[in-house]
Chains A and B, each alone.
Chain A
Amino acid sequence: MSENNRETVIEVRDLVRKFGSRTVLNGISFTVERGDTMIIMGGSGCGKSTLLRHIIGSLRPTSGSIKIFGEETTTMSEEQMEKLRLRFGMNFQFGALLQSLTVGENVALPLIENSKVDPAIVDLVVKMKLELVGLTGFENLKPAEISGGMRKRVGLARAVALDPELLFSDEPTSGLDPIMTAVIDQLTMDLTQKLHMTAVVVTHDMASAFRIGTKMIVLGAGKRAGTIIAHGTPDDIKNSPDPEVQQFIRGEPDGPVPLKLAPEDYIDRLLGHDRDKGVSY
């Protein structure tokens, strides 16, 4: 498949978001084509989740443009956004299941609320989606009665309940065992390759990222916080000359991103005065 004749699903241009005086996203631009699995990587607190929240329309940017299925979402009314969101599925970092409903009711919720499907069919779909994530038979438990990893998988089942064209996942595999990680990765690949679903995945898990990603962006830290420091296919990222990217994908503790974040000298901060002033210890 050539890059040029695939439909662009998400187009982000010069996205800037400021919280007060702090710039969290500083000129982010990228595109995602149909069938892609876009991986968003970056250190903790670099703005990955914030970026995702802008794409799904939970947050509005300070400036810049986001187009989804060719429609500008940053200026969209809440009503249009609601219609557009029917084509999304979002898998939250901690599942975000409704605690008052059972696992089965949670997965059924988007179906019951957004379509007029027969209850028997809803039941069938719920069983199928739970089977996908390996949780058959857990329909009648409450989210509080299952483990955190299971909740995440139920969250994924709920996200794909309406067979969305676009799936967002916020750290889908963190906290899962290696086998379950592989299952979720395989599921994401199946969905994108067989059903031409498009996925945007935020992750820290390098093995998983390189397994499922067809495109990647890396967000910077420190002075380059809120900007994309590398962009391309998994091979491009692996061969990136940028030392910060290399440090990140190899998981090295020290490098361009320093271990300590404070700009002042550690000893000075500890002792609370300037050593040069000649205070004797």
Chain B
Amino acid sequence: MVALRQFLTLNAQILYWTFVAPFAGKPTVRIDAIFQQMVRIGVQAVPMAALTSLSIGLTLAMQGSHELARMGATSYVPDLLSITLLRELAPLLTGVVVIGRSGSAITAELGTMKVSEEIEALEVMSINPIRFLVAPRVIAMIIMLPCLVVFSNYIGFVGGWLICNFALDINTTAYIMRLVESADMMDLISGMTKSFVFGWLISVISCQSGLGVTGGAEGVGRSTTKSVVLCILVMLVVNAILTGMFFIIEGPKG
């Protein structure tokens, strides 16, 4: 309960420093810090996100074709790919990559700063740590995770194309046509909404865990582990809730 209250307070503070403070004549979140974090969280995660989604695209196409072949429906492999990647797997797997790379790094970094009195030093210098450290990371992740998901979608489709083109006799034109035909706007909206929500949750939880570190180097390690576990659990549960919400909004697909 205490953690939930802290989570909400931290969110309120981030919103304040991002949207209210600039109009109240307060110092603002530094743009260069946001870009710096965007490079670390987003750009540098591109190779890992690419490898992950390429593998998952390949796997999905292979598994899917196996099952669909029994019904003589291998031509539906692109449909399967577009729905599963856009709606579920690209946001989830990119989320896992970002938790592992950046979520843990944020917790460890802020935790170390907390332990070595750097956070306190900022406060004494009248530099609000939420504005200076937390807000740039959260903003950067909310921007970059959806970008990574879009990128992952494409790479996943490339993985699927490799199988379809070289193993299943679905040529490139047919593959693209079926992809475009089967995916509708709602698939993309649903996946993108998820990635925004994941980006927000991962960054805020990681920052909160980092700022809450007590007890030296051991505490940093403990908090980092806890933060990664918590991020993954929260992401999976929220994913189920969001899928449920879209299911209710759209109704069963006919």
- Which of B114-122, B207-215, B232-240 touches A? B114-122
Complex interface: chain A residues within 8 A of B132 (CB): 113
B76-114 CB mask vs A (1 if < 8 Å, else 0) is 000000000000000000000000000000000000110
Complex interface: chain B residues within 8 A of A86 (CB): 126
Tell whether A97 pairs with B118 under 8 Å between CB atoms, given A113-B27, A113-B132: yes
* A58 lies within 8 A of chain B by Cβ: yes
Query: What's the minimum C-beta distance from B207 to chain A, rounded to whole angstroms?
Result: 16
B-side interface residues, number (CB < 8 Å): 16
Complex interface: chain B residues within 8 A of A109 (CB): 125, 127
CB pair B126 A90 closer than 8 Å: no
Chain A: interface size category: 20 to 34
B44-68 CB mask vs A (1 if < 8 Å, else 0) is 0000000000000000000000000
* A110 lies within 8 A of chain B by Cβ: yes
* B225 lies within 8 A of chain A by Cβ: no
Bound-state Cα–Cα, A157 to B175, Å: 65
CB pair A96 B127 closer than 8 Å: no
CB pair A96 B121 closer than 8 Å: yes
CB pair A114 B123 closer than 8 Å: no
Tell whether A98 pairs with B125 under 8 Å between CB atoms, given A58-B120, A113-B27, A113-B132: no
Tell whether A85 pairs with B125 under 8 Å between CB atoms, given A98-B113, A113-B27, A113-B132: yes
Contact of B126 among A83, A97, A158 (CB under 8 A): A83
- If A85-B123, A96-B118, A109-B127 are given as contacts, then 10 extra A-B residue pairs at C-beta distance below 8 Å, sorted by A number, are A83-B126, A85-B126, A88-B124, A90-B121, A90-B125, A98-B113, A98-B118, A98-B122, A114-B125, A114-B126
Query: Can you sample 6 A-B contacts with CB below 8 Å?
Result: A82-B126, A90-B121, A99-B112, A110-B126, A113-B125, A114-B125
Name A residues whose Cβ lies closer than 8 Å to a Cβ of B.
56, 58, 82-83, 85-86, 88, 90, 92-94, 96-99, 109-110, 113-114, 158
